[in-house]
Amino acid sequence: MDGVGWVLIGLGHDIQQVTEMENAEALRQPDLFFTRREIDNCRLQTDFVQSLAASFSAKEAFFKASPPLVDFFWTDVEVMRDRHGKPLYCLGGLVGRIFSEAGWRATLSISHSGDYVSVVALITDSGSI
């Protein structure tokens, strides 16, 4: 434990080229990779494809930061935005149960620059930031 009173469980990073998402039709099918709620949330953003790329990258960063998980579904981890537009993870299914039982919390930061999105995911104990 460091001076701020929380423990870092994992750190993940991912970068995604936005144009790679333009023709990724399978990602637009609800409940395969994204939930209907996530797809609808992406459609509410200024740039749907950029938002889809950011959400894709956020899931990749999440699983890079997570301890090894088995039998999870990509839809167990939703990437949503609060009323101010701040991105956040909503965890359900097996992933949600594991995190709840362990007392872990996942947070993320998404940055956009040109044709790229970059995401950092932090997993900490419940005393986290």
Note whether residue 38 is domain-resident. Answer: yes
Cβ-count burial 77-114 (b if 16+ within 10 Å, e if not): bbbbbeeeeebebebeeebbebbeeeebbbbbebeeee
- CATH code of 24's domain: 3.90.470.20
Domain boundaries, position 52: 8-125
Report the domain count for the chain. Answer: 1
Pick the range with the lowest mean pLDDT from 10-14, 42-46, 49-53, 75-79: 42-46
Note whether residue 2 is domain-resident. Answer: no
What is the pTM (predicted TM-score) of this model? 0.89
**127 confidence band (pLDDT: 50, 70, 90):** low
Note whether residue 1 is domain-resident. Answer: no
